[in-house]
Amino acid sequence: MNPFWFAIGYLIGRARLRARSALDGDPESGAITLEWIVIAGILVAAAIGAGVFFISKIKQYESNIP
């Protein structure tokens, strides 16, 4: 399995778990606010964009190797 997709899957799973525990109303779950959800979404989008960019650049350089 590609480590990039494993890391993304792990982060999404952690976000789902945290959101589920926050929505259950457990006072010990910790607060997850809309701001943190937006920030996490932006970070995930940036990580995916950077990963796609770097993977394409690496493949481009690999094709130049004789």
Q: Return the residue matching tokens 């990580």.
A: 47
Q: Give domain status of residue 46, yes or no.
A: yes
Categorise residue 30: left if φ over 0, alpha if ψ from -120 to 50, beta otherwise.
Answer: left
Q: Look up the domain containing 63 and give its range.
A: 32-66
Q: Give domain status of residue 6, yes or no.
A: no
Q: Give domain status of residue 43, yes or no.
A: yes
DSSP-assigned letters across all residues of 8-55 = HHHHHHHHHHHHHHHHTT-GGG----HHHHHHHHHHHHHHHHHHHHHH
CA–centroid distance for 43 within its chain: 7
Model pTM score: 0.49
- Average pLDDT of 26-55? 82
Q: Give domain status of residue 4, yes or no.
A: no
How many domains in the chain? Answer: 1
Residues 11 and 2: their CA atoms lie apart, in Å, by 15
Which tens digit of pLDDT belongs to each residue from 10-23? Answer: 988 988 887 777 77
